[in-house]
Amino acid sequence: MPVDSLLGPASIGVHAGDTIDSVINAVKGVGYYTDTIGFGASSNSLTSGMDLKPLGINYFLNTGQTCSNGADMYQYFKGIPDGSALGKKVKDSIAAMGLPPLRGLAPGMMEDAEAALNPANLMGAMLGSGYPQCKKVRLMVGDMYGNIQDPDDGTQWIDNPSTAVYDQASGMYYQEQWVLDKMVDKDTWDKTAKTLNPDGSPKQANKTISGFVGTSKTVASTIVVIGLLGLIAYGIMKRK
């Protein structure tokens, strides 16, 4: 689970004791968990330098629908808070105070609830034509620590992990998938060339016809030439 990235008290220096250092470390521990719950980043000098990042997972999910080009259609889910839980006005006000966005566990729960209660996706599924035309996107997947699987037990957090590409500059993984661009009517969907396999890879241009392998035009031309040569040979044999 991504929450496993949350450090335990001992990992941030909190331990039982009666020294000034133990008290200071305990206060820093309170600051760490407060920032984790509220901001998902350091908001004060107590937590400065600590490895604090928003928790959660971003991932693509196969919808079970097929794009007009033949590829499977995916939907992108943002499990990492983006700081929009309380709206733009509050977000701007917090930024004006010099504080990081509200990307902690509590605001993240509010964002998840808002997304779950948003009827747009449900209504789109009910009222849409059911024939999707898609576009390819490249988006970040995994958690903010650059993981796409559980560091402890190896559980994969994303679909098709072999297609995820690590970006050295950001330290994150990215994936390319086909997502909904717009819904089209059945006639348009049917007439669109299905040039891609379900996994998004291009279909082979070569076709096999009666044991011959090659493009359809090449195979047809070859068969015609062979047929003509056969007729010429047959005519020559009859004359003899």
Same domain, 154 and 230: no
Inform me whether the pLDDT recorded for 172 exceeds 50. yes
Q: What is the pLDDT of residues 97-149, one digit of tens each?
A: 888 888 888 888 888 777 766 666 555 555 555 799 999 999 999 999 999 99
Q: CA 137 from chain center: how many Å?
A: 9
Inform me whether the pLDDT recorded for 218 exceeds 80. no
Inform me whether the pLDDT recorded for 168 exceeds 90. yes
17 located within any domain: no
For all residues of the chain together, what is the average pLDDT?
A: 80
Q: What range does the domain containing 131 cover?
A: 58-191
Sign of dihedral through CA atoms 71, 167, 1, 45? Answer: negative
Same domain, 232 and 151: no
Same domain, 141 and 172: yes
Same domain, 169 and 211: no
pTM above 0.95, yes or no: no
Same domain, 141 and 232: no
- Give the chain's domain count: 2
Q: CA 108 from chain center: how many Å?
A: 18
95 located within any domain: yes
- Tell me the C-alpha distance between 67 and 179, whole Å: 8
Same domain, 72 and 165: yes
128 located within any domain: yes
Residue 81 token pair: 């808070």
Contact 73, 180 (CB under 8 A): yes
Return the pLDDT at 73: 95
Same domain, 213 and 164: no
Higher-pLDDT residue of 220 and 110 is 110
Same domain, 70 and 180: yes
Residues 6 or more apart whose Cβ sits within 8 Å of residue 51: 7
233 located within any domain: yes
- Tell me the C-alpha distance between 92 and 89, whole Å: 5
Same domain, 187 and 211: no
- Tell me the C-alpha distance between 146 and 173, whole Å: 6
202 located within any domain: no
5 located within any domain: no
Return the pLDDT at 62: 94
Q: What is the pLDDT of residues 70-88, one digit of tens each?
A: 999 999 999 999 888 888 8
170 located within any domain: yes
150 located within any domain: yes
Residue 18 token pair: 């009666």
